[in-house]
Amino acid sequence: MLRGHRKERVGIVISTAMDKTITVASRRFKEHRLYKKALRQTKKFKAHDEAETCQVGDLVRIRETRPLSKTKRWRLVEVIKRAE
């Protein structure tokens, strides 16, 4: 992983139960090889939220970073849209 080429994902915060950690669900669409049907795939990422600014339902951008814990490898970049 090169420093300038870190992956970014956009997703919705689904949990803020842990200290300085959020769980983000990122959805992508993939086409079935044979039947060409669009399939939804959801993946959950744990991300570091230093200031604890996020709430459940926020649309956020996260960026890949060094391992911060056993399961946390992403960091909050920005809150795109606040939950209502």
Query: Mean per-residue pLDDT for 9-29?
Result: 97
Hey, where are the domains in the chain? 8-81
- Give me the residues paired with residue 68 across strands: none
Per-residue pLDDT of 31-71, as tens digits, reads: 999 999 999 999 999 999 999 999 999 999 999 999 999 99
Q: Which burial class, exposed, middle or buried, applies to 17 when counting CB atoms under 10 A from its CB (0-12, 13-18, 19+)?
A: exposed
CA dist 37 → 29, 30, 32, 40 (Å): 10, 8, 5, 10
In sequence order, what are the residues at sequence separation of 6 or more whose Cβ sits closer than 8 angstroms to the Cβ of residue 35? none
Q: Is 13 exposed, middle or buried (0-12, 13-18, 19+ CB in 10 A)?
A: buried
Of the pLDDT bands very low, low, confident and very high (cuts 50, 70, 90), residue 4 is: confident
Identify the residue whose tokens are 């649309």.
59
Looking at 2.40.50.140, 3.40.1740.10, 2.60.120.10, 3.90.650.10, the CATH number of the domain 8-81 comes to: 2.40.50.140
Residue 73 has pLDDT above 70, yes or no: yes
The pTM score is 0.86
Q: What's the rounded mean pLDDT across residues 67-81?
A: 97
pLDDT over 90 at 2, yes or no = no
Please provide the average confidence, as pLDDT, over all residues in the chain: 95
